[in-house]
Structure 1
Amino acid sequence: LADGKVQFFGQPIFCVIAETREQARRATRLAKVEYNELPFVTDIGVLDSSKDKLVTPPLTLRRGDAAAAIKA
């Protein structure tokens, strides 16, 4: 989740736990989020690979048994 700074469109900013989907949807509508726009890059061709880094570390998503993956 974003920790004080949202770094990309679609980045999760909070979680909701509810007993039903409708309860979760209602809870998300209660969120009040304010953003301060920061400088941004629209062309990756201008980036310097020696100093400009990835926003987040690479992530691999897999389907399967999560419990089995922890044991491995």
Structure 2
Amino acid sequence: MLLYPNPAKDFITIQSTQPDITGLTLYDATGREMLRQTFSGSAFTLPLTNMSPGLYYIILRSPDGTQRQYPVVHVK
């Protein structure tokens, strides 16, 4: 799994070696849900232009229910 760039300014790209991502949830540092998105495929670009700078967590979901968490730093 690749998440780049990190720190990110305008967007973050999520790439998987297999098409196993079914969705993501983005949380801020306080645990507040900021975005929930479903998709299919092995790559996704998440725009961050409307987000405040800070620390966020992306939770990626797979078809079998597995969830993986990744920290993302957003800078202006």
TM range, smaller chain: under 0.3
| Structure having greater relative contact order (Cα 8 Å, sep ≥ 6) | 2
Name the larger-Rg structure.
1
User: In proportion to residue count, which structure has more helix?
Assistant: 1
Q: TM-score, normalised by structure 1?
A: 0.26
User: In proportion to residue count, which structure has more strand?
Assistant: 2
Q: TM-score, normalised by structure 2?
A: 0.26
